[in-house]
Structure 1
Amino acid sequence: MTMWVFGYGSLLWNPGFPVARQELATLHGYARSFCMSSIHHRGTEDKPGLVLALDEVDEAHCRGLALAVEAGHEDRTLADLRERELISSAYLERMLDVELHSGETVNAVTYVIDPHHVQYCGGIPLEEQAQIIAHAVGGRGPNTEYLYNTTEHLAEIGLHDPDLEWLSQRVRALVA
């Protein structure tokens, strides 16, 4: 049986595992947003950055990629994803149904935000998000790189996220 992973942020451009197949997909009931304070990868405890997470919102949906893990790599992939995504327990690992562009529905490993976790910061106005992202740097590099890579990869695969596109333009202006 194929193991699927739903990518909506850095997994789009840096899955970190062998991908046998990828397809555009939609997850219902969640919205992609910069609602997680990053104290490890894209910021520090003293100067947190922001990373994307899936925030549970009725009537919302998030378009991203369903990534099929290459056969034989499932256990290693899950271990690596848990090490990467569950570093601070702000994400919750869920098996959620995603609709593939082809019409098929698959059950995918998906990382969603825990709204009760101290790193949850939903509802920050876009201008404030831009100010944070423009200046934060963490263990995996500048917060700007995360924003730019995600926005550019979404555009490459034909998915447009108006908030991320606005943030990319605003942050570029702030750091210029």
Structure 2
Amino acid sequence: MSETPLLPAAMTPECPVCPGYPPMLGEARLLDDAELAESLARTMSRWDGASDLWLFGYGSLIWNPGMPAAETVRARVRGYHRGLYLWSRVNRGTPEQPGLVLALDRGGSCTGMAFRLEGEGAGPHLEALWRREMPMGSYRPAWLPCWLADGRRIEALAFVMRRDVPTYTGKLSDDIIKAVLGCARGRYGTTLDYVCRTVQALRECGMPDRALEALLRRCV
């Protein structure tokens, strides 16, 4: 995985004073191996372990899927939309200056990329995906109806935001987002870089996210 290297702590910019930021999130707890395995097994209980399966990517999975795909197709899910709804205390921020990452929240629709994984040998890739997406259990893995650009309708595995966890942001003001984009940095780089890469990838795939682009114009 090629990620922007971290700046030394002394070079991290100070966040502007902004009511509501940083949020009070409490202590973070990582899921242990047993909890991750149980979550994966529960989600995949409907899979026969051999058939190909689909994954819907709407954020960094678009430009960094981290696994081989037998087929990659533009796609859309309905009933959920993409937004910066998840506080990130490790990957794109710190406990002191949390960053933001994208999540699916209820309402609307969302374009993204659907990846078909071959059933044979998929197990290790799914385990790696769970370690990447589910370290704190902030998402709810779900099988969503997904419409591919070529007209096929499939069910695809996606990670939906849980609204019952402290890391769910709800609707944030532009002032808070501006503060985050100006200073939040984690082990994989800045929130700003993450959002810009996603915006660029969506444009290159021919499905620009106008709302996310407008947010960048307002807040950067």
User: What TM-score comes out, normalization by structure 1 length?
Assistant: 0.91
Question: Cα deviations across residues 15-58 of structure 1 (Å, max 9, x unaligned)?
Answer: 0000111111111110100011111110111110000000012x
- Give secondary structure in 2 for the equivalent of 1:78: helix
| Cα distance change on mapping 1:43 and 1:104 into 2, 3 Å | same
Q: How do 1:118-133 and structure 2 match up within 5 A? A: 118-133=166-181
Other-structure match for 2:33: none
- Give secondary structure in 2 for the equivalent of 1:19: coil
From 84, 87, 94, give the equivalent of 1:34.
Answer: 84
Of all paired residues, the percent bearing the same amino acid is 34
Equivalent pair of 2:60/2:194 in contact (CA under 8 Å): yes
Q: How do 1:8-27 and structure 2 match up within 5 A? A: 8-27=58-77
Distance in 2, matches of 1:122 and 1:30, equals 14
- Give secondary structure in 2 for the equivalent of 1:54: strand
AA paired with 1:24? R
Moved over 6 A (4+): none
Q: Report deviation, 1:131.
A: 2.3
Other-structure match for 2:204: 156
Q: Which has the higher strand share?
A: 1
Distance in 2, matches of 1:41 and 1:72, equals 30
- Give secondary structure in 2 for the equivalent of 1:115: coil
Other-structure match for 1:47: 97
From 101, 113, 116, give the equivalent of 1:65.
Answer: 113
Range that drifts further, 139-148 or 5-14: 139-148
Question: Cα deviations across residues 124-175 of structure 1 (Å, max 9, x unaligned)?
Answer: 123431321221001111111101110000000111212221233345xx4x
Range that drifts further, 71-80 or 7-16: 71-80
Distance in 2, matches of 1:42 and 1:73, equals 30
Other-structure match for 1:76: 124
Distance in 1, matches of 2:114 and 2:178, equals 28
- Give secondary structure in 1 for the equivalent of 2:70: strand
Q: Report deviation, 1:94.
A: 0.9
Q: Is the aligned partner of 1:87 residue 2:135?
A: yes
Gaps of 5+ in 1: none
Equivalent pair of 2:174/2:218 in contact (CA under 8 Å): no
- Give secondary structure in 1 for the equivalent of 2:169: coil
Distance in 1, matches of 2:78 and 2:68, equals 26
Distance in 2, matches of 1:130 and 1:84, equals 26
The RMSD of aligned alpha carbons is 1.4
The structure number with the bigger radius of gyration is 2
Gaps of 5+ in 2: 1-50
**How many residues are paired up?**
170
